[in-house]
């Protein structure tokens, strides 16, 4: 047994404690007619990816935990291939993930991974960012080569005893939605079950990004992060995963590989990581709204009046203006202490992951952005345990009405603009409009939000 397995199974006191806590939390999340032991068995069944009865996987848990944990990342043909050759790749529309449970050598300066192999296998190039379908994003993601070698490999300069996970902080980072959608959530999905016993190699390394997410990264791996561009040596690992698993927009699907984690587990992880106190909105006494203010486009031109109106209704209002460098420590706490979040369609709404269960999330939908609003936030919100409402603006609430006049296709037929191509539509609807909210109508929306929370506001 290598050092990896010893720490994992026997554990340091803190790891053992973590294990007990996890078992306890797990047990408490199952219906009460299951005994804790039954729940734990259930948990192990999930762990084995539905092969709980299979002796092979159960033996592996004990004999070689690292192989076992890597094996959870593949199913079906991919798993058979991994068992036979020690190497496997899975490709879908959004991401490619390649992994090996054989000891590898990585040349950091060439971003090349050497895998020992006596069988002939095709070399692979992976761009480790979960938005494969988007050429623009992928232009900002360096390729990582995986080469099978039957000859001698380069000599190790540094030997590590846990597997490496290689992923990019390039792509669309700089936008909160993309940071969670393509990196943070996929990272959680791919590596949570390793219980911090793995080492990150972050390509396209952006120091500000790594700093911004340092709390999350240090919860997921207890080892120093390697920036290959700054550490141009030869490193050796007992295994490697290149690329991250992706499920859906801001989504974690309990039934998809590696299995066992849902959006609720992720929210719970965020609460622990950022020391957020409120799990359920019922713990918040006062009615409180957080309004996400946008600085550049899709602004609320009468934001001051909106705030006044909400205060008159009896809400306490916090206005926050997140930008790409904003500390999550600060805003996560504000959002977690509110029972309503209001904002125009845009990346800032990703902050909904910090809302307590049962909070109301009001998305203001600008002209022409119905599909994007529903796809990126409306749909995912339903899986987050929050109550979702949309406030769809009328043409006379958009600055586009003055710009184009009431009969222009931009106003009456947004579809025709989208048919001209994404960039044309983006210029008009995403970057080119601001909003002046109808306070009479918006007031109704907030009264409904209060009702959804089971409150009647003072003026009602």
CB of 418 to ligand NAG, least distance (A): 25
State which residue, 193 or 443, has the beta carbon closest to ligand NAG: 443
Which residues are near ligand NAG by CB under 6 A? 54, 56, 79, 83, 107, 109-110, 118, 120, 150, 154, 158, 224, 226, 230-231, 233-234, 248, 253, 255-256, 280, 282, 357-358, 383, 385, 396, 438, 440-441
Give dist(CA 460, CA 455) in Å, integer.
10
Torsion sign over Cα 328, 274, 384, 315: negative
Nearest distance, CB of residue 142 and ligand NAG, angstroms: 13
Are the CB atoms for 270 and 353 separated by under 8 Å?
Answer: yes
- C-alpha distances out from residue 159 to 105, 221, 233, 235, 303, Å: 9, 17, 11, 6, 56
Rank residues 130 and 226 by Cβ distance to ligand NAG and give the closer one.
Answer: 226
**Shortest CB 358 distance to ligand NAG, Å:** 4
Nearer to ligand NAG, 160 or 195 (CB): 160
Torsion of CA 50, 55, 58, 61, to 10 degrees: -120
CB of 253 to ligand NAG, least distance (A): 4
Least distance in Å: CB of 408 to ligand NAG? 19
- Rounded CA-CA distance 274/333 in Å is 8
Query: Nearer to ligand NAG by C-beta: 28 or 150?
Result: 150
Identify which of residues 24 and 158 has a Cβ nearer to ligand NAG in the complex: 158
Beta bridge partners of 394: none
- Considering only CA atoms, which of 89, 70, 107, 83 is closest in space to residue 239? 70
**Nearest one of 78, 14, 12, 73 to 47, comparing CA atoms:** 73
Minimum CB distance to ligand NAG, residue 19 (Å)? 25
DSSP string of 188-238? HHHHGGGTB-SEEEEES--HHHHHHTHHHHHHHBSSPPB-TTT--SEEEES
Nearer to ligand NAG, 219 or 231 (CB): 231
* Residue 48 or 293 having the CB closest to ligand NAG: 48
> Which two structure tokens, joined as six digits, stand for 50?
């539905």
Closest CB 121 distance from ligand NAG, rounded Å: 9
């Amino acid at each position: 047994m290598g050092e990896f397995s010893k720490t994992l199974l026997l554990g340091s006191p803190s790891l053992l404690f973590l294990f007990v806590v996890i078992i306890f939390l797990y047990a408490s999340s199952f219906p009460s007619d299951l005994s804790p032991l039954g729940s734990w068995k259930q948990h192990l069944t999930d762990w084995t990816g539905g092969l709980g009865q299979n002796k092979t996987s159960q033996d592996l848990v004990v004999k070689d935990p690292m192989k076992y944990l890597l094996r959870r990342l593949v199913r079906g043909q991919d798993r058979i291939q991994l068992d036979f050759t020690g190497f496997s790749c899975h490709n879908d529309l959004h991401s490619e993930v390649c992994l090996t449970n054989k000891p590898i050598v990585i040349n950091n300066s060439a971003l090349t991974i050497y895998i020992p192999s006596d069988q002939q296998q095709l070399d692979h190039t992976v761009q480790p960012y979960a938005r494969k379908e988007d050429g623009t994003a992928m232009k900002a993601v360096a390729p990582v080569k995986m080469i099978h070698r039957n000859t001698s490999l380069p000599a190790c300069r540094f030997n590590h005893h846990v597997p490496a996970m290689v992923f990019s902080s390039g792509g669309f980072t700089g936008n909160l939605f993309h940071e969670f959608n393509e990196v943070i959530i996929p990272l959680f999905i791919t590596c949570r079950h390793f219980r911090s016993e793995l080492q990150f190699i972050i390509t396209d390394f952006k120091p500000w990004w790594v700093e911004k997410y340092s709390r999350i990264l240090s919860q997921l791996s207890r080892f120093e992060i390697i920036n290959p561009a700054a550490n141009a040596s030869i490193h050796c690992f007992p295994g490697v995963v290149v690329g991250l698993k992706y499920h859906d927009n801001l989504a974690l699907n309990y039934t998809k590989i590696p299995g066992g984690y849902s959006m609720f587990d992720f929210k719970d992880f965020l609460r622990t990581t950022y020391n957020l106190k409120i799990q359920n909105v019922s713990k918040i006494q006062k009615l409180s709204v957080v309004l996400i203010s946008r600085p550049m486009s899709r602004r609320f031109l009468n934001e001051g009046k909106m705030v006044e109106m909400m205060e008159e209704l009896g809400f306490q209002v916090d206005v926050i203006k997140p930008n790409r460098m904003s500390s999550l420590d600060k805003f996560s706490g504000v959002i977690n202490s509110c029972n309503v979040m209001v904002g125009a369609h845009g990346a800032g709404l990703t902050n909904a992951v910090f809302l307590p269960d049962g909070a109301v999330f009001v998305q203001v939908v600008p002209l022409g952005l119905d599909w994007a609003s529903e796809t990126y936030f409306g749909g995912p919100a339903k899986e987050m345990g929050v109550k979702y409402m949309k406030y769809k603006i009328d043409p006379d609430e958009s600055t586009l009405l003055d710009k184009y006049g009431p009969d222009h296709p931009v106003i009456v037929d947004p579809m025709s603009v989208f048919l001209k191509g994404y960039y044309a539509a983006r210029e008009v609807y995403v970057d080119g409009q601001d909003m002046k909210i109808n306070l009479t109508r918006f007031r109704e929306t907030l009264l409904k939000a209060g009702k959804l929370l089971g409150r009647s506001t003072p003026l009602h």
